[in-house]
Amino acid sequence: MQERLGNRVQSMILHKVETLDLTFFENADFYDELRNASDESIYKPMQMISQVFDVLKTVMTLFSRLALLLSLAWWLAMSALLMPIPSFLSSSRYGWHSYQKMCRQSPQRRRLHYLVRLMTTDTYNKEIKLFNLGPFFSTSMTRWPRSCINRTGKLWCRVPWSVLAGAASLPWPMQPSPST
């Protein structure tokens, strides 16, 4: 089913590409979207369907557990609803930062992939050696990952706060009430 769905999406992409003018392919943003759609068309549609069913399963589980907790005590159900909020907020925030970083680095990653392909393909490598372009490509390939790591280090320095927020949402054992 996944292969059939992936092939259908790929054929839809190819039919759309046939109707496009060459100027669309010269636009870097459009080309990034086209490459992403083409690369992810094999697995992404089935993954999206699977995620919808996972969400439905999780919602059903949540409501059944809330009903069980409501039958025991209302405050248990309320605490079960409120405890995951800090973890959700921190995960959403850092997930958004990671998504923005991925979008920002997409052109550079494509360029890096292109340079790696140039350096490792025999027909291109012959020309690189002929014109002595190896050092130029090597330095440009090593420069970008270093700057990328320096920029992402700032994001990962803030991640421990999300870990603390996640730990706050864990169900800690209740203290037994003193018996009278």
Q: d(Cα 180, Cα 143) in Å, to the nearest integer?
A: 70
Instruction: Give the model's confidence band at 54: pLDDT under 50 very low, under 70 low, under 90 confident, else very high.
Output: very high
Q: d(Cα 10, Cα 8) in Å, to the nearest integer?
A: 5
Q: Which residues contact 5 (CB under 8 A, 6 or more apart)?
A: 45, 46
What's the structural domain count of the chain? 1
Closest among 47, 16, 49 to 33, alpha carbons compared: 16
Judge whether residue 139 has pLDDT over 60: yes
Q: Which residues contact 99 (CB under 8 A, 6 or more apart)?
A: none
Summarised one tens digit per residue, pLDDT across range 104-128 is: 888 887 887 787 777 777 777 778 8
Q: Which residues contact 137 (CB under 8 A, 6 or more apart)?
A: 115, 118, 119, 128
pLDDT at 174: 47
The Cα-based distances of 28 to 16, 31, 108, 114, 158 in angstroms read 18, 5, 11, 14, 32
Tell me the residue range of the domain where 91 lies.
83-170
| Within a domain: 26 | no
| Within a domain: 73 | no
| Within a domain: 44 | no
Summarised one tens digit per residue, pLDDT across range 10-53 is: 788 878 877 878 787 778 788 778 878 887 877 888 888 899 99
pLDDT at 10: 77
Q: d(Cα 41, Cα 43) in Å, to the nearest integer?
A: 6
pLDDT at 151: 58
Summarised one tens digit per residue, pLDDT across range 56-113 is: 999 999 899 999 989 998 898 898 889 889 988 999 999 999 888 888 888 887 887 7
| Within a domain: 132 | yes
Angle (nearest 5°) at CA 23 between 20 and 28: 105
| Within a domain: 6 | no
| Within a domain: 36 | no
Alpha-helical segments (H) within the chain: 2-19, 22-26, 28-40, 44-72, 74-82, 85-120, 122-130, 134-157, 159-168
| Within a domain: 67 | no
pLDDT at 136: 83
| Within a domain: 69 | no
Q: In this structure, how many other beta carbons lie within 10 angstroms of the beta carbon of residue 41? A: 19
